[in-house]
Amino acid sequence: MLVMINIAQLWILAATVDAALARHYSVLLPLVIASGVCFLITLSIIRWWRPTSRRKTSSGYIRTK
Amino acid sequence: MNNLNETISRVLNDENDVRAATAPYQAEFPYERDEEAQVTRREFCNFLGLTSAALFLGAGGFAAKAAIDARNLESFSPAQISGAETLAPNSSLNFNYPTENDSAILIRTADGAYHAYGQKCTHLSCPVYYSRDHQRLECPCHEGAFNAATGEVLYGPPPRALDTIAVETRDGQVWAIGRQTSGVEHGS
């Protein structure tokens, strides 16, 4: 999932460069916002996502079954 | 118990086989095999997070720079293009305008008229050059071409015409007096 988001952000960066060189200033802000949303999703996954099939112990996550 | 010993033996043999097979590569690319597994999933995720932040900052920075550049393009002062008066028809001359960092190209077409353009290709900023054989401006990077008299895109990936630099002749000298950015879409 994180890799997919990174690839999407890479595409957004390429689109931003292309739009800036073509003087399409109206699409720059939406592209930057989209990249920011991708970053926030990445951050939330890293910060809060935990595997549901495992439980936390003092030494890490272990399988519940 | 026999199964356990057999499994241990098989794993160790496999390990020895792998080490033997990779020995030549180890000599050329020395790395500690035991350290291969030291990048944890969490570290990998953190790396992806940093990459995401870098891509976000890159997009934001590029957009901000483009917006700032667009505002700074408004003011120009006339500048003489030295050597332009002796330029032969169907040839070109490089100069800088409006600042020393902005490369531009002056073209004298076969009919003797002067035309000047920003030298950055509107596709990915490669410098364009004047092709005397084809009498057009060409970009060597991705095979784009522009009309020498108007700066319009003839073919290729450039999305818009070249930036136009207005020129005029004063007492036999050629002067650049302004620069206009084209926002016209190619093919639209």
Q: List, for residues B148-159, the tens digit of each pLDDT value.
A: 888 899 999 988
Which residue range(s) make up the domain with B57?
A: 2-72
Assign A6 to helix, strand or coil: helix
- B92, B160: one domain: yes
Which of A20, A45, A46 is opposite residue B63, by nearest beta carbon? Answer: A20
Do the chains contact at B70 and A25, CB–CB below 8 Å?
A: yes
- Is B49 within a domain? yes
- Is B186 within a domain? no
pLDDT of residue B4: 80
- B50, B136: one domain: no
Higher-confidence residue of A23 and B85: namely: B85
Q: Nearest residue on chain B to A13, judged by CA atoms?
A: B59
- B11, B101: one domain: no
Over residues B90-110, the mean pLDDT reads 88
- B20, B109: one domain: no
Calculate how close chain A gets to B65, using CA atoms only, in Å. Answer: 9
- Report ipTM (2 d.p.): 0.79
The answer to whether residue A8 neighbours chain B at the CB level (below 8 Å) is no
Which of A23, A35, A43 is opposite residue B59, by nearest beta carbon? Answer: A35
Q: Report the share of chain B in percent with pLDDT over 90.
A: 27
Over residues A31-58, the mean pLDDT reads 83
Give B132-178 pLDDT, tens digit per residue.
Answer: 899 899 999 998 999 988 889 999 998 888 988 999 888 888 898 88
- Is B187 within a domain? no
- Is A42 within a domain? yes
Last residue of some domain: B17, B47, B72?
B72
Angle A4-A5-A6 from CA coordinates, rounded to 5°: 90
Which of A13, A18, A43 is opposite residue B55, by nearest beta carbon? Answer: A13
Is the pLDDT reported for residue A23 higher than 50? yes
Contact pairs from chain A to chain B, CB under 8 Å: 81
